[in-house]
Amino acid sequence: MSTRPTPKQPQTLPGLGPKSMAMLEAAGIHDLARLQQLGSVAAYRRVKRCCPSASLNLLWALEGALTGLHWQTVARDHRTSLLLALDDDTQTPGPCAPGSVSPETGTQ
């Protein structure tokens, strides 16, 4: 029996629980490699577009998953730089992954 993640089963990322993982899945972010490619700010913007209720705690957790820092440390020590990057990030986030189901509404 294989335990390798499939496209419908995202990898577990450090510091992210099942709800955060479901939001990432809805945004088309299925693994650490994709999160690293996007970076925490762009990934957060994608998730926010699919799941408007996502809080800034998710941004801190995404940065923590990339840096190995606890999300509370990120919130305390990197809050300003991340918020400035979020404000300056003019890239339009991509839509939710095609065919994905929003964890908030249960619809596509």
Low-confidence ranges of the chain (pLDDT < 70): 1-11, 89-108
Query: Residue 10: what pLDDT?
Result: 47
Query: Residue 105: what pLDDT?
Result: 54
Query: Residue 13: what pLDDT?
Result: 77
pTM of the model: 0.75
pLDDT single digits (tens) 51-68: 999 999 999 999 999 999
Query: Residue 14: what pLDDT?
Result: 80
Domains in the chain and their CATH numbers?
18-88 (1.10.150.20)
Q: How far apart are alpha carbons 19 and 4 in whole angstroms?
A: 20
- By CB atoms closer than 10 A (0-12, 13-18, 19+), residue 39 is middle
